[in-house]
Amino acid sequence: MLVQTPSKIFKNDFRIWQENEKSTITEILKNEEKIHTLLSLKEVVLDIEGELRLNFDEERTLLILPLYGEIIITDFYETISAGMSLTLNIQAGKNIVIKNLVYHDRSDLLIFEFKKGENTQTFSKNELDFTLKNNAFQISKTIQHPNFIGLYNGRAEGYYALKDAEKSIFGMVLNGAFEFQNRLMENRDAILLWELEELEFEALSENALILFMEI
């Protein structure tokens, strides 16, 4: 029998979006107590010719995951598009600018902000291959804690045993719907779970896309 563990759900319907001149942004997770390695998660929609400027007071590791479109980032001279991820280290006081390269449409991306990891490469680009369904694989190969993404058929199940029982699990549905540790999660809902040793989930729709990580 699945044991109910403590959790906090971040419903997509309740998010507040802040409109700027050339972008729209919402904060999905903000870890103000800094008790987890994941400090914040934002979703950003860049308008046509839009850009976003970010500044960090302390050293950070960022994981940038485009969901739609194509972008380019300060000091990294390759484009990043949906189906890829970029991990980069940011120095204290450093500005970065993220620009939309789609001339006819918006770009949509997630920005994960972590405490800076040791011995992490300055930049690391990763191709995400979704040809093998019902299988979770790494989003970033350089972030030091386990992180996964996967595309699932309807009614396909997944299990994951935590590497560190002291850690929490953060999960987010990028498309479709899942039953995630016995909680219903729909498109763009997120969840934080703790006090668990094994994660269980089941896709409730076709081509359901989910990500999760130990934090």
pLDDT in tens, 79-88: 999 999 999 9
Q: Which residues touch 144 (CB under 8 Å, ≥6 apart)?
A: 117, 118, 120
Arithmetic mean of pLDDT, 127-145:
95
201 band by pLDDT with thresholds 50, 70 and 90: very high
Arithmetic mean of pLDDT, 93-100:
94
Arithmetic mean of pLDDT, 46-57:
95
103 band by pLDDT with thresholds 50, 70 and 90: very high
Arithmetic mean of pLDDT, 122-149:
95
pLDDT in tens, 151-178: 999 999 999 999 999 999 999 999 999 9
Q: What's the pTM value of the predicted model, to 2 decimals?
A: 0.95
Round to whole Å and give the CA distance between 185 and 212. Answer: 13
Residue 2 has pLDDT above 80, yes or no: no
pLDDT score of 32:
85
Nearest alpha carbon to residue 61 among 157, 176, 162, 139: 139
Arithmetic mean of pLDDT, 34-51:
96
Amino acid identity, position 170: F
pLDDT score of 119:
61
pLDDT score of 1:
46
Token pair 């972030």: residue: 143
Round to whole Å and give the CA distance between 190 and 198. Answer: 18
Residue 121 has pLDDT above 90, yes or no: no
Domains of the chain (ranges, CATH numbers): 7-12+128-214 (2.60.120.10), 15-126 (2.60.120.10)
70 band by pLDDT with thresholds 50, 70 and 90: very high
Mean pLDDT of the chain: 94
Residue 3 vs residues 6, 17, 118, 168, 191: alpha-carbon distances, Å: 10, 35, 35, 15, 16
Residue 117 has pLDDT above 90, yes or no: no
